[in-house]
A and B are shown apart, each in its own frame.
Chain A
């Protein structure tokens, strides 16, 4: 009897010992629901960025030191080869630019004749990628400019190769950029060859994006380059986004989707270009990303 009583007591007390855990777990779950509905987290993050920014900055330092160390240790011959490669690349892009200038002049003339709206050359500024969101299923990263530098939400981020993403949240000295690869991001695109338009959706991985709901008659081929179409006004038209890699049948067998390899190659410590919003009819549409804040 006594023993039964003892075991019963110990069971009861061990259950009771879990009560604080259950209490705090409930609070956490409730917070998750609130955050999911009202994006409480981004609010607090924006308010407390004075505390968080130094943390992100500090975490970025080992990498920065490493990068500069690598730069300093680079062999002279390697540097010479790099300079040579860059020079030849510069020459090639200069040549392309000369042809482009002629085409641009022609285009401006034609647009003037057609009485169409003039396209503005976008203004850009240099920013640096300092850290990325540690959660590997989010494709977002932090840049080293914020609201004090005049960064605004929705600004488009590109690198030397193509579209990287857009500014999602702005803090005091830093800003959060959502990459086109993020599962919460979609960008209106156009096949450069055929002019076919669709929406390219991030999948939350680095390997590919998805061009969904294609039919047999849509003019998309493997190897096609996708550029931003400019629909919606958020992204300026003509920025390269990806290359069609392969087609896959949808589970429902009604549509085909295409896996698209991203073109942009952002990396730590590398420079990115932040486009200034064009003085045109922007802001009509909501941002291309489906949801606000973290998923």
Chain B
């Protein structure tokens, strides 16, 4: 089964995730915002690792730092951690059922939260609010839908 590469879908989905990451939200919702960009990056790292290497992941992270007014390199490091694990366990992860992938990603996102707390503590800036610990749960619920959506679009592209 040879899948055709879908660069257009890849960059469009990443661009859309960028917009979602900077979408204005009420203050109480802001902390709950799931790390959608990480999920999209993980999808492409699973499907087309050749086109979503760590260098590109770092560049995407740096762009998110610029767009999101965080310290340059912070989001890059967070995305690298997530994508690094995913690329490392890619061969197993690809054949997990989707809900197990979700679980794995939620664990990774909690690791990411831990990293974020450490980075914030080192910078001596206010720590993320307590509600942000719920955002990986939202990502857990979001992943199956995101996976199916992107996978379906890819499939259609292949059949043409």
Binding site for B on A (CB under 8 A): 14, 17-18, 20-21, 24-25, 27-32, 34-36, 40-41, 44-45, 48, 52, 55-56, 58-60, 62-63, 130-138, 140, 176, 183-184, 203-206, 268, 294-295
**Cα(A27)–Cα(B135), bound, Å:** 27
B68 nearest CB neighbor, chain A only: A134
B61: nearest residue on chain A (CB-CB)?
A: A28
Stretch at the interface among B6-14, B18-26, B92-100, B144-152: B18-26
Stretch at the interface among B43-51, B101-109, B119-127: B119-127
- With A58-B19, A205-B129 known as contacts, the answer to whether A24 contacts B66 (CB < 8 A) is no
B155 contacts A by Cβ under 8 Å? no
* Least CB separation from A32: chain B residue: B73
Q: Is the CB of A137 within 8 A of B72?
A: no
CB atoms of A138 and B69 under 8 A apart: yes
Interface of A, helix, strand, loop or mixed by DSSP: helix
- The answer on a CB contact under 8 Å between A29 and B77 is yes
A59 contacts B72, CB within 8 Å?
A: no
The number of chain B residues with a CB under 8 A from chain A is 45
Report the bound CA distance from A203 to B74 in whole Å. 21
Instruction: Collect the chain A residues with CB atoms within 8 Å of residue B27's CB.
Output: 136, 206
B125 with A133: CB separation less than 8 A:
no
Closest A-B pairs by Cβ, 4 of them: A204-B126, A31-B73, A32-B73, A35-B72
Cα(A57)–Cα(B75), bound, Å: 21
- Shortest CB-to-CB span from A133 to chain B, Å, is 4
- Apart from A62-B23, A140-B69, 14 more pairs, CB < 8 Å: A20-B54, A29-B77, A32-B71, A32-B74, A36-B71, A36-B123, A52-B67, A55-B19, A59-B20, A59-B23, A131-B22, A137-B127, A184-B125, A204-B126
Flag if B76 contacts A31 (CB, 8 Å). Answer: yes
Q: Which residues of B contact A131 (CB under 8 A)?
A: 22, 24
A44 and B66 contact, Cβ closer than 8 Å, known pairs A21-B84, A24-B55, A36-B123: yes
Q: Which residue of B lies closest to A27 (CB)?
A: B58
Could you tell me the distance between the alpha carbons of A24 and B84 in the complex, rounded to whole angstroms? Answer: 10
Partner of B71, one of A25, A58, A203, A295: A295
